């Protein structure tokens, strides 16, 4: 059966889930949605989606069920809790969790779904709200090759780079590796630019001088102007990146993986949360180093 004749369900219409749902509709798929908030559901219904009263009701009518939720406990509650996905899901369905959660939880849910005769993929995303809106996210997938191939067109409706990384849990392992590198790089940028500011050198000129060399990167180019303009409106907020680093910590503990740098950077992110910057963009972590040095990195007039 062609996927455009199937009913797709999406649970979680937040910052990322809502534009993802819009792109599913835009690409000609039939969609049913559920969220605990009424407003985004009505917005999607106005675009052609159907609404379900509970996750169980959504799962009962859909062939492919997607969740896009904040963290592991939310996913487990929506799947396994009262009126959850498990109460309605049918054998032969495909469940795709696109949340960024612990790979340990992904594997646990995979086992539960297998007992129901349901295939599962973990498929977290990268790119933040802007790429969710324009449908160019990177999607990292864990699961069976044949299941991946069967839903790849749906994933491509939401993302540009869609990659099967390995078995179940591999998608979230890849996402956490991504979050380690981004967090460490943002922290390196912060430390370097606070160092330059403290030395009395214009950070903008430092950026222009180094961006074409080995220290140049996508992270540096994407975030430096925001830092200089003090624009910390979130694409990926500090609270969300902190959550991902906590998942890294838990996953690393389970496999005895050393993460000394990540552990130190996690403390900087936690300090920013406690200091009132919880909803700032993750590049706002520079405020931790600025407070230590008593300087502000900004564009000079």
User: Which residues are the active-site residues?
Assistant: 175
Q: Which of 231, 27, 62, 213 is nearest to 222 (CA)?
A: 231
Integer CA distances (angstroms), 54 to 12, 102, 173, in order: 12, 24, 30
Give which of 108, 73, 84 is closest to 11, Cα–Cα: 84
Structure tokens at 32: 């049913």
Closest CA to 173 of 77, 64, 250, 265: 250
Closest CA to 66 of 103, 28, 24: 24
Residue entry with tokens 């299941």: 147
Q: What angle do CA 83, 86, 92 make, to 5 degrees?
A: 140
Cα–Cα distance, 261 to 103 (Å, whole number): 21
Ramachandran sector of residue 133 (left: φ over 0; alpha: ψ -120 to 50; beta: rest):
alpha
Nearest to 11, CA basis, from 89, 107, 73, 79 = 79
């Amino acid at each position: 059966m062609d996927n455009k004749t199937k009913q797709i369900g999406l649970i979680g219409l937040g910052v990322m889930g809502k534009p993802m749902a819009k792109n599913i509709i835009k690409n000609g798929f039939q969609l049913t949605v559920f969220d605990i908030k009424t407003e985004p559901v009505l917005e999607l219904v106005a675009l052609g989606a159907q609404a379900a009263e509970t996750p169980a009701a959504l799962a009962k009518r859909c062939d492919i069920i997607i969740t896009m939720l904040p963290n592991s406990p939310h996913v487990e509650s929506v799947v396994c809790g009262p009126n959850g996905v498990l109460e309605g899901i049918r054998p032969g369905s495909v469940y795709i969790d696109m949340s960024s959660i612990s790979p340990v939880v992904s594997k646990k849910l995979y086992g539960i779904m297998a007992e129901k005769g349901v295939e599962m993929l973990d498929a977290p995303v990268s790119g933040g709200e802007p790429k969710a809106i324009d449908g160019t996210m990177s999607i990292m997938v864990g699961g069976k090759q044949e299941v991946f191939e069967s839903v790849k067109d749906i994933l491509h409706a939401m993302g540009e780079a869609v990659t099967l990384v390995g078995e179940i849990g591999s998608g979230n392992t890849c996402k956490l590796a991504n979050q380690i590198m981004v967090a460490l790089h943002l922290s390196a940028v912060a430390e370097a630019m606070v160092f330059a500011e403290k030395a009395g050198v214009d950070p903008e000129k430092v950026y222009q001088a180094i961006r074409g060399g080995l220290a140049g990167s996508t992270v540096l180019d994407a975030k430096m102007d925001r830092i200089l303009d003090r624009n910390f409106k979130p694409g990926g907020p500090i609270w969300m990146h902190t959550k991902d680093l906590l998942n890294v910590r838990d996953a690393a503990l389970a496999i005895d993986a050393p993460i000394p740098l990540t552990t130190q950077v996690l403390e900087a992110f936690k300090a920013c949360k406690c200091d009132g910057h919880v909803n700032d963009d993750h590049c706002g972590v520079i405020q931790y180093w600025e407070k230590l040095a008593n300087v502000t990195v900004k564009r000079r007039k």
